[in-house]
Amino acid sequence: MPQSPWRLRSLQPGDIGWVIARHGEIYTSEFGWDGTFEYLVAEIAAGVMKTFDPARENAWIAERDGIRLGAVFLVGAGGEAAKLRMLIVDPAARGLGIGARLVAECTSFARAAGYRRITLWTHSILTAARRLYAAEGYVLTSSAPLRAFGVELTEETWDLDLTGRIG
């Protein structure tokens, strides 16, 4: 029997906890990061939900048959800038186009909401996510070495200009 297609939906009860837990589980398993990363994701999620403005911010959950497969949040970053936060795709669902669709949803929503730029913070070790960002048109604007989550990393900032200007 073939699997049903996945779909995107808005947040429901339990989704925030899942996003936090899956970040902790996946990043520990795949990259050896310690529990401080899950704590950071919990802080980010709490901050996002505390001030969430549905007219200017959104979140998407990818699911199939009631099973969560991925998530992303787009939140205000001050002025005309938005921030892509907490992108996650479950390892069992990779290769289905979920990550690209989640990133594209952020771009589409940000344009409709009147943002002029989207920014995000990531790490150089997250090569699959970096490929998604680059394919969407994001440009790496800064990077620096960082010791965090029990490992040596290179943190990165990526930006997407929504105005159509080049450079």
Q: Which residues pair with 142 in a beta bridge?
A: 157
Rounded to an integer, the average pLDDT of 10-39 is 96
| Predicted structure pTM score | 0.93
CA gap 133, 163 in Å, rounded? 17
Query: For 7-161, which CATH superfamily applies?
Result: Gcn5-related N-acetyltransferase (GNAT) (3.40.630.30)
CA gap 134, 158 in Å, rounded? 9
Q: 135-163: per-residue pLDDT in tens?
A: 999 999 999 999 999 999 999 999 999 99
In the chain, where the domains are located: 7-161
Phi, psi values for residue 77, rounded to 5°: -120, 15
